[in-house]
Amino acid sequence: MQEIIQYLFSGITTGSIYAVIAVGLSMLYSSTELINFSHGEFVMLGAMGILTLWVNAALPLPLAFLLTVVAVSCVGMIFERLAIKTVKKPQPITLVIITVGASIFLRGVAMIIWGKDPFSVPSFSSYESIEIAGAALVPQSLFIVFAAFILAGAIHLFFKQTLTGKAMVACAVNKKAAWLSGIPSESMGVLAFIISTGTGAAAGIFIAPITMGSYDMGTMLGLKGFCAAMIGGLGSLWGAFAGGILLGVLESLGAGLISSGLKDAIAFILLLLILYICPGGLFSAKVAKRF
């Protein structure tokens, strides 16, 4: 029994990492209908940014956090302006390939700047783990769950309560109609990129103490985050959140109860099963039909 609780806690730790990444991916999808495969690289930039500003330059944590998020959002904006906006015929497949290219590019640049070795980032709070019913929980994973929750909540409110947020959704539903009704669809696209990459950077900052920072950490995290968003239903923020936690718990239970060698296989088979039974994901919006 004690072991099961430990597996659940481990699952929540990894799951919260996937969740916080999936939220940013999902947000961009629901406002631009674009899947950004370089999202993991923006997460990596967040982790490396906090390493440079907080650990190496010894700035206070809140300031380093803010600077990192702003800097990475700027990179996201430049990426949108230079690579996404300039595409003549924005077919979905073209844009997806561009994001894949961007991820390779960002990884290469990061390798030149920070080198090939991984770096460790200290935990935000004291190191001791919390013990509940004989199972240990790392405090940092509580921070991550909390961050994912806040991010998802804030973006949810932004979409539902503010005019800008609603305008952004309108652009995703029908760009031309939104433009005709006076919404500056182009600046909405940039804004969506800025917010999404900013959340990616925030995710990277929160997970860095657990994952450690290295130039090639983004790829796997981006893929797992994408899976989590798929499980939850692309475009649904709470779905992405729940999907991340679910994927983490499944992996951990698979490793603990069946075999650690099959850990990823178990998680991915379940992903396929879920998508087979409900193709839109577990929490997809019921009005999936867009015209």
Partner 1 sequence: MRQSKIRSTLVVAVCVMLMIAPIIGASSAMAASIYKIGGVFDSTGPASFLGDPEQKTMQMMVEQINATGGIDGNMLEAVIYDSEGDPAKAVSAVNKLLHKDNVIAIIGPSTTPTTLAIVNFVEKAQVPLISCAAGVEITSPIKPWVFKTAQSDLLAVAAIYKTMQSKNIKKIAILTVSNAFGESGKKQLVGQSKEFGIEVIMQESFGPNDTDMTAQLTKIKSASPDAIVCWGTNPGPAVVAKNVKQLKIEIPLYQSHGVASPKFIELAGDAAEGIILPTGKILVTKLLSDDDPQKKILAKYEADYKAKFNTNVSGFGGYSYDAMVMLANAIKGSGGDKNKIRDALESTQKYIGVSGEFNFSATDHNGLSPDAFVMVEIKDGTWKLLDK
Q: How far lies 69's CA from each of 43, 200, 256, 269, in Å? A: 10, 8, 36, 35
From the list 22-30, 86-94, 247-255, 279-287, the region that binds partner 1 by CB under 8 A is 247-255
Is there binding between residue 14 and partner 1 (CB under 8 A)? yes
Is there binding between residue 13 and partner 1 (CB under 8 A)? yes
d(CA 191, CA 178): 15
From the list 72-80, 95-103, 192-200, 258-266, the region that binds partner 1 by CB under 8 A is 258-266
Is there binding between residue 105 and partner 1 (CB under 8 A)? no
Of residues 22 through 51, those in contact with partner 1 by CB under 8 A are: none
Of the residues 116, 132, 162, 184, which one makes contact with partner 1 according to CB under 8 A: 116
Determine contact, residues 97/37, Cβ cutoff 8 Å.
no
d(CA 122, CA 21): 20
Q: What are the residue ranges of helices labelled H in the chain?
A: 2-32, 39-50, 61-79, 92-114, 139-161, 163-173, 175-180, 185-211, 218-232, 237-253, 263-277
User: What is 165-189 written as a DSSP string?
Assistant: HHHHHHHHH-HHHHHHTT--HHHHH
From the list 48-56, 118-126, 174-182, 185-193, the region that binds partner 1 by CB under 8 A is 118-126
Is there binding between residue 146 and partner 1 (CB under 8 A)? no
Determine contact, residues 72/197, Cβ cutoff 8 Å.
yes
Of the residues 256, 266, 280, 284, which one makes contact with partner 1 according to CB under 8 A: 256
Is there binding between residue 217 and partner 1 (CB under 8 A)? yes
Is there binding between residue 3 and partner 1 (CB under 8 A)? yes
Q: Provide the binding-site residues for partner 1, judged by CB under 8 A.
A: 3, 6-7, 9-11, 13-14, 17, 111, 116-120, 122, 127, 129, 131, 136, 138, 207, 210-212, 214, 216-217, 220, 251-253, 255-256, 260-261, 263-264
